[in-house]
Amino acid sequence: MPELPEVETVKRGLTPAMEGTRVTKLELRRGDLRFPFPDAFADRVSGRTIVSLGRRAKYLLVDLDDGNTLISHLGMSGSFRIEEGRIEDGAASGVPGEFHHARSKDEKHDHVVFHLQAASGPRRVVYNDPRRFGFMDMVGRADLAAHPFFRDLGPEPTGNELGAAYLAERFRDKAQPLKSALLDQKNIAGLGNIYVCEALWRAHLSPIRAAGTLVTAGGRPKVQLDLLVASIRDVIADAIAAGGSSLRDHIQTDGSLGYFQHSFSVYDRESQACRTPGCGATVARIVQAGRSTFYCATCQK
């Protein structure tokens, strides 16, 4: 599933193509994705102007000029494709990048089409999802924070709210494994398996140690927790700068793939040498809560 850096990359790719445009038509080629579309969804979006695009955790947010926000989740295989020009004239779409791998271009997987009018002319933004695990919803912007998707989410890993003192409050006296605590969206919004593994390696912290061991008896963060927060921020920033990690189905809006997977230190590197200088050990793989965890048992304590 695309993680926060992948969704942020998609948002940044869509922003110049969608912000300020008018939706001349929202074309739904089926009645549902993972869930049914909202009632009168196409009619409510058609004719509206797109004010801005945003992201919360792993959700894309499209703000409309009537005060509503379109919510989109990419699921396992969802992606957006930008096409310039009229279709009958032969639309020019994004050019796949050097690391492009085959994706379905069959129209049966193009489930939602935004027909847009921009100052430069018409364009389409196409949502393609072979597995149909993604979904779309709509809610008033003023009600967004109370929506079931968002009301229990913790702070963003890149925001000012995330700090060692905040995590110390959340982790105090917790016997829960550290990795599980970091994947809990109520603690931090948007962190996924890949980047938790990478951040823990950077902080030299074991994924299996109890989260509460990073907090003093008085409830203050230990120095390791400060290091962990810095590592989370750094790994997310590095991944966004690299365009995300193109594992399996993730693809950027121009068809190219992210490059961060070439910088993985532990994820998907089982039995390979740990990249910590002087460590000399190899990366191990264990399963926690049904997910693969990659770490170095020698330098992560």
- For 135, list phi and psi in degrees, rounded to 5: -160, 165
Contact 180, 288 (CB under 8 A): yes
The reply to whether 38 belongs to the active site is no
State the catalytic residue, choosing from 11, 48, 58, 202: 58
The reply to whether 3 belongs to the active site is yes
44-73 in b/e burial notation, b at 16+ Cβ within 10 A?
A: bbbebebeebebbbbbbbbbbeeebbbbbb
Known binding positions for DNA: 109, 131, 174
Residue 228: both structure tokens together? 């962990």
Residue 240 and residue 243: Cα distance in Å, rounded? 5
Residue written as tokens 């121009």? 254
Known binding positions: 109, 131, 174
The reply to whether 291 belongs to the active site is yes
The reply to whether 2 belongs to the active site is yes
State the catalytic residue, choosing from 22, 172, 275, 291: 291
Q: How many CB atoms lie within 10 A of CB 186?
A: 10
Contact 294, 268 (CB under 8 A): yes
Handedness of CA 98, 190, 157, 177 (dihedral sign): negative
State the DSSP H helix or E strand holding residue 80, giving kind and residue range, or none if neither. Answer: strand 79-84
Enzyme catalytic residues: 2-3, 58, 291
